[in-house]
Structure 1
Amino acid sequence: MPYYDGVELSSTYADASERGYGFFASNVTHVDVLLGLLQGADSADSDLVVQVNRKIAAAFGNGDATVGLNAFAAYIERVADSVDVGVFCNVDHVHLPNQADFLDAVAESGVPSSVMVDASDTSFEENVELTREAVERLDEADGEMLVEAELGRVAGVEGDVETATEDAFYTDPERAVEFVERTGCDLLAISVGTQHGVASGQDLDIRPDVARAVRDALDDAGFDVPLVVHGSSGLTDEQVRAFVDAGVRKFNKNTRYQYEFARTLADFYRDHADAVRPPEGVVDDRADFFGDADWSPDRTYFHPQAAAEAVQDRIAAVYGGLADLTGSAGRSRHGRR
């Protein structure tokens, strides 16, 4: 299926709201993560939202975030044709005002389906002003790119920005209505007690009731704006289901995929260490590639694609389970029915 823009993404979120399901929007830090997500979404018959932030865009662009964003977009537009589901891209956490230059590059590129602008670490009034300016800038440049904003602070580290746990707070429903009305944002990320990064062992007070209260307040005011939860890697299945029931349609997930990538590689090379590292008594002559040794490494296992396929398979399996969890499995609006 083709890669889709914000108009189709808006319709996809509307369908999720009407039918009561959600999506895990998945950050891509490596091409094998992307390919695994595409495979998993295709197998699950779930439309797919992938995400990239400025730091990772810079990595894809050899240090230049604008080059990386355009390269990533060109790649995903091509590989999306290989699957039978809708594929969308969100640019995640463009921190304002210090990343305004990157927002300009995003606007000029016209490639993402949506953009998440983040001024949540500023005052309410400054958050409103910066978000409204971003909405106007993106509407003027493209007109089809959705804008996600954040009201409330999520603890943890996102990109290079850290929010202390004591600085996090829950989103107020009345303020959420005012924020949406004054900014014109298309999606709203709210603070419900989650945390960016690894949340295991943290004393988090997860509050689906806050999401429900914000959803009800927006509905009463006539704003059909999908709600977003950031920092979802540490949520239990029961908590995710509770948030879906409370009206959350988009969950951001990043750390889990990073862990699965590293863990799969660690397990793969541990299991095949004898094929990659010389045994005891054999000189580790990497410079001459063991030309004088009785032992040689096994290309079956040191070929990068062997480990890459293991990573892709694992990411695909993880995404399939997540699509089942949020109810998006079997509900692609753009693929088979």
Structure 2
Amino acid sequence: MSPSSKSTVDLRELYERARAGRYGFFASNVTQFDVLVGLLDGSAAADADLVVQASREEAAFFGGGDPTVGLEVLGAALDSLADRYGIEAFCNVDHVHLPEEQSFLETCLDSDVPDSVMVDASDRPFEENVELTAETVERADDDVLVEAELGRIAGVEGSTETAADEAFYTDPGTAVEFVERTGCDLLAVSIGTQHGVASDRDLDVRPDLAVAIDEALVEAGEETFLVVHGASGLADERIEALLDAGVCKFNKNTRYQYEFARTAADFYHDHADAIRPPEGVPDDRSNFFAGSDWSPEKASFHPHVVSNAARNRIATVMSELCEVTGNAGETMASGR
């Protein structure tokens, strides 16, 4: 969000308050503009603040292929809309893979958009992960939090299918060493969740490991916020257990993608006869079916119709998720 309208509330304060109150946030990836509006709608209805995320891939989508442009577009939209909705909204740049995306990281840190950046060198040897993360912390402005990942989360991340076949659970002692040596503000830990399409019944999620990591960090005097990636498939009771374990940020992306696609698919299935010509009618799009008695119905094919349906569905989902994580009614916007 641009400094001209950014409130005095910062993202660290948001997470500190959440940790003290044992509630949390779904940090929600924005893959499409209607998803963003739906997330804001739902958060405002729940009187809850919002954390949105965009990876390089998603920023490139918003920028017509240019992630630098897309990051600015997303930041401007989030800034203006959050002010309209009367809640605090923050932006995290998600999964900047290092060292491959170092130039994009520089773009993010030179921008006024992100409140935090997540650097991902979890597939690198431990020492390299430490080095790359520590360099990012040193480079980042004091107002930009740095999230890192330790361990490995299985599954497919993003539409480009960045995949890890096997999960590696985070060791509590190693987590302490990593935080002490890097100074990262948030730590994404591997406790059995999975990126992409994953059902809770297929996951071996270990809240006890999250507890052990949190306790080890507290004992070492480190005030690091814990993060769980791959939360789309987790049942509500799993989320509640992880909140009790000290996790305050959960990444969610796949659920919104499905809700968007499912809403659009259901709508167009139900209204197919109003959009596609019936059998026997030439598919004369260029002349708008002038040679036939049949015409499509604009009330069904106007993009705003299905967009509004998708926004409303995602808003409902977001409001429900705010209840699950306990941040409903906790907005700090009134303190502006």
Q: Normalized against structure 2, the TM-score is what?
A: 0.95
Match of 1:76 among 75, 78, 91: 78
Verify the 8 A CA contact 1:86 1:332 in the aligned structure 2: yes
1:272 Cα deviation after fit: 1.2
Verify the 8 A CA contact 2:10 2:143 in the aligned structure 1: no
Paired AA for residue 177 in structure 1: V
SS, match of residue 35 in structure 1:
helix
For 1:272, the equivalent position in structure 2 comes to 271
Cα offsets for 1:286-336 (capped at 9, x unmatched): 121111211111111110000000000000000011100010111111149
1:182 Cα deviation after fit: 0.7
Cα offsets for 1:124-168 (capped at 9, x unmatched): 111100000011111xxx3211111111100012234634333x1
For 1:162, the equivalent position in structure 2 comes to 162
Verify the 8 A CA contact 1:3 1:80 in the aligned structure 2: no
Paired AA for residue 47 in structure 2: D
Verify the 8 A CA contact 2:195 2:229 in the aligned structure 1: yes
Cα offsets for 1:216-265 (capped at 9, x unmatched): 01111111211000001111111111101111000000011111010000
Paired AA for residue 19 in structure 1: G
Matched, 1:127 2:135: no
Verify the 8 A CA contact 2:214 2:246 in the aligned structure 1: yes
Gaps of 5+ in 2: none
Distance 1:335 1:261 in 2: 31
Match of 1:103 among 92, 105, 117: 105
Verify the 8 A CA contact 1:128 1:183 in the aligned structure 2: yes
1:178 Cα deviation after fit: 0.9
Aligned residues: 333
For 1:308, the equivalent position in structure 2 comes to 307
SS, match of residue 70 in structure 1:
helix
Question: Which of 233-242 and 282-291 deviates more?
Answer: 282-291
1:280 Cα deviation after fit: 2.6
For 1:57, the equivalent position in structure 2 comes to 59
SS, match of residue 249 in structure 1:
strand
Match runs of 1:164-243 below 5 Å: 164-166=164-166, 168-200=167-199, 203-243=202-242
Paired AA for residue 117 in structure 1: V
Paired AA for residue 71 in structure 2: L
Verify the 8 A CA contact 2:200 2:235 in the aligned structure 1: no
Distance 1:7 1:221 in 2: 28
Match runs of 1:17-32 below 5 Å: 17-32=19-34
Distance 2:215 2:8 in 1: 25
Q: 1:17 to 1:125 in 2, by over 3 A?
A: same
Distance 2:27 2:94 in 1: 10
1:5 Cα deviation after fit: 7.4
Distance 2:122 2:82 in 1: 33
Gaps of 5+ in 1: none
Question: Which of 117-126 and 70-79 deviates more?
Answer: 70-79
Paired AA for residue 162 in structure 1: T
Cα offsets for 1:48-80 (capped at 9, x unmatched): 000000011111111111111112111211111
Distance 1:7 1:68 in 2: 25
For 1:93, the equivalent position in structure 2 comes to 95
Distance 1:257 1:335 in 2: 28
Paired AA for residue 68 in structure 1: G
Match of 1:45 among 47, 51, 55: 47
Verify the 8 A CA contact 1:4 1:113 in the aligned structure 2: no
Verify the 8 A CA contact 1:7 1:145 in the aligned structure 2: no
Paired AA for residue 249 in structure 1: C
For 1:334, the equivalent position in structure 2 comes to 333
Over the residues paired in the alignment, what is the CA RMSD in angstroms?
Answer: 1.9
SS, match of residue 199 in structure 2:
coil
Distance 1:238 1:287 in 2: 53
Distance 1:3 1:76 in 2: 11
Q: 1:50 to 1:63 in 2, by over 3 A?
A: same
Distance 2:91 2:5 in 1: 8
Distance 1:245 1:271 in 2: 43
Distance 1:6 1:178 in 2: 32
Q: Normalized against structure 1, the TM-score is what?
A: 0.95
Distance 1:205 1:303 in 2: 44
For 2:289, the equivalent position in structure 1 comes to 290
Identity of aligned residues (%): 61
